[in-house]
Structure 1
Amino acid sequence: MKARTVGRHFRESFKSLSRNSWMTFASASAVTVTLLLVGVFVMIMMNLNKVADDLEKDVEIKVLVELTANDKEAKQLEKEIKNIDGVASLTYSTKEAELEDLINDFGENMGLSEQNNPLRAAFYVKATNPQDTEKVAEKIDRLKNTYSIEYGEGKIEKLFEFLNVARNVGLVLILALLFTAMFLISNTIRITIVARRREIEIMKLVGATNGFVRIPFVLEGMWIGILGSILPITLVSLLYFNLYKILQPYLEGEMFKLLPITPFLYQVNILILVMGIFIGVWGSFMSVRKFLRV
């Protein structure tokens, strides 16, 4: 395609937006409202997904060592645990360290002392994939010199099941919202093109190719998508920026944290812009297609 022809298509798309200003406004408004809803929902779901990931990463297996195990046997057990497939990290805690942690948690009024330490040394193990925690725990339990394995059996499985369901429901809702958006916006753009069907018919009758007719409309859809993305990007950015500034001080030191402003906002804004362009182009392409059969 010649540069002159490309320039003509761009000029025509801009002229069309100006000539049909009210229809352009209606289409861009539909894109704006839909993308604003999608942007807010994506923002919420991505933060919920981070919370779910943080919960999963916090899951660990506590391996209590037999009281009769000496240092050599404890080191051998450590080596065997490290060699298990699926183990990401391992930390050893002596009897004294376990007692110190217990006293720090519950105070010194428990009647415990270093001279009368009933606790066991322990290994704290994290699985490479948190969902494989149960499998890793079962393998460790078969090793010699392990007294007991603690990882929240029964509760962990329910937690992972809930998180998987929450992720799947969120994904389905986002996809449903996107398909609804594409349907509504394509119908709005179709109304714009229906009002200009005679223009398309005349161009076809004088010999214009389908591509020559379609490109200005597709470019117009792209501009509508970009125009419709500006307000959602601005509002979502302002909303998240202010929420982050308000909530983050209260979440310092807590398990749950919001995604940092950067690069999160850049990712969401690019996603909104790409969706706006895609929906605008797709809506225009599908809407003009039926009028090319002259």
Structure 2
Amino acid sequence: MKPRTTARHFRESFKSLGRNAWMTFASVSAVTVTLLLVGVFVLIMMNLNKVADDLERDVEIKVFVSLTADEAATESLETAINGMPGVLSVDFSTKEEELQDLITDYGDELSLYKQSNPLYDVFYVKAENPQQTASVAKGIAALEGIEDVKYGEGKIEKLFSFLNLSRNVGLVLILALLFTAMFLISNTIRITIVARRHEIEIMKLVGATNWFVRIPFILEGMWLGVLGAIIPIALVTMLYYNVTEYAQPRLNDELIQLLDFTPFIYQVNGLILLMGVFIGVWGSFMSIRKFLKV
């Protein structure tokens, strides 16, 4: 395409926005409202997904070593557990350390047991994939020298099922919202193009090619998407900044944490802008097709 033709297409797309100010306002408003909803929903779902990941990573297997196991047997068990498929990490805690933790948590009354410690040496094991915790625990339980294995059997499976369901529901809702946005914005842009169908017919009758007619409208759709993304980007940024400023100090040292303001907010804003451009271009492209058949 010649530079002069390209410049002409850009000029026409800008002029069209001004000539059809009310339709431009309607289209930008539809894009703005829809992208704002999408942006807020993405903020919520991504943070819920992080919470789910944090909960999964916090799941561990507590392995009690038999009281009859000596130091060599314990080291051999640690080597065997480390070598098992699906094991991410193994941390060893002596029964003295376990008792000290109990004293710290529940008070000095438990220090009476220091002379006759009834606890077990313990391995804390984490699986590479938290969803495989149950299978890893069963493999460890089969090793010789293991007294017991606990990982929240029954509860863990329910937790993982709930987290998987939450992720799937969130993905479906985001996709449904995006398709709804594309439908609404496409129809709004279609109304704009219907109002200018005679202009398109005249251009076709004087010999303009389909792409010569189409490109200014596609560029116009792109500008509508960009303009419609500006307010959602600003509002989403301010909203998440205030939420993180309020919540982060109160969530220090807690299991549940929000995603850091940066670079997460840049990723969300980039997604909003790309969605605005895509929806605007796609809406214009699909809406103008029927009017090119003259």
TM-score by length of 2: 0.99
Aligned partner of residue 64 in structure 1, secondary structure: strand
The answer as to 2:212 corresponding to 1:200 is no
In structure 1, the partner of 2:292 is 292
Q: How far 1:114 moved relative to its partner?
A: 2.1
Query: In the comparison of the two structures, how many residue pairs are matched?
Result: 294
Aligned partner of residue 108 in structure 2, secondary structure: coil
In structure 1, the partner of 2:35 is 35
Equivalent-residue separation in structure 2 for 1:112 and 1:273 (angstroms): 64
Equivalent-residue separation in structure 2 for 1:287 and 1:254 (angstroms): 51
In structure 1, the partner of 2:53 is 53
Equivalent-residue separation in structure 1 for 2:196 and 2:235 (angstroms): 33
Equivalent-residue separation in structure 1 for 2:67 and 2:8 (angstroms): 84
In structure 1, the partner of 2:250 is 250
Q: How far 1:3 moved relative to its partner?
A: 1.1
Equivalent-residue separation in structure 2 for 1:255 and 1:168 (angstroms): 23
In structure 2, the partner of 1:224 is 224
In structure 2, the partner of 1:62 is 62
Contact 2:102 2:110 in 1 (8 A): no
Report the AA paired with residue 83 of structure 2: N
Tell me the alpha carbon deviations over residues 185-208 of structure 1, each in whole angstroms, 9 at most, x when there is no partner.
000000000000011111111111
Report the AA paired with residue 24 of structure 1: T
Summarize the alignment of residues 1-294 of structure 1 with structure 2, pairs less than 5 Å apart: 1-110=1-110, 112-294=112-294
Report the AA paired with residue 289 of structure 1: R
Report the AA paired with residue 246 of structure 2: I
Contact 2:10 2:219 in 1 (8 A): yes
Report the AA paired with residue 292 of structure 2: L
Report the AA paired with residue 103 of structure 2: I
Equivalent-residue separation in structure 1 for 2:207 and 2:262 (angstroms): 52
Q: How far 1:234 moved relative to its partner?
A: 0.2
Tell me the alpha carbon deviations over residues 216-263 of structure 1, each in whole angstroms, 9 at most, x when there is no partner.
000000000000000000000000101111111111111111111000
| Unaligned ranges ≥5, structure 2 | none
Equivalent-residue separation in structure 2 for 1:249 and 1:111 (angstroms): 35
Equivalent-residue separation in structure 2 for 1:57 and 1:117 (angstroms): 31
Equivalent-residue separation in structure 2 for 1:107 and 1:153 (angstroms): 29
Aligned partner of residue 8 in structure 1, secondary structure: helix
TM-score by length of 1: 0.99
Aligned partner of residue 109 in structure 1, secondary structure: helix
Deviates more, 1:229-238 or 1:2-11: 2-11
Tell me the alpha carbon deviations over residues 49-68 of structure 1, each in whole angstroms, 9 at most, x when there is no partner.
01000000000000000000
Aligned partner of residue 143 in structure 1, secondary structure: coil
Superposed CA RMSD: 0.7
Deviates more, 1:102-111 or 1:86-95: 102-111
Equivalent-residue separation in structure 1 for 2:169 and 2:58 (angstroms): 23
Report the AA paired with residue 201 of structure 1: E
Q: How far 1:110 moved relative to its partner?
A: 3.3
Q: How far 1:112 moved relative to its partner?
A: 3.6
| Unaligned ranges ≥5, structure 1 | none
Report the AA paired with residue 208 of structure 1: A
Structure 1 segments of 4+ aligned residues over 6 angstroms from their partners: none
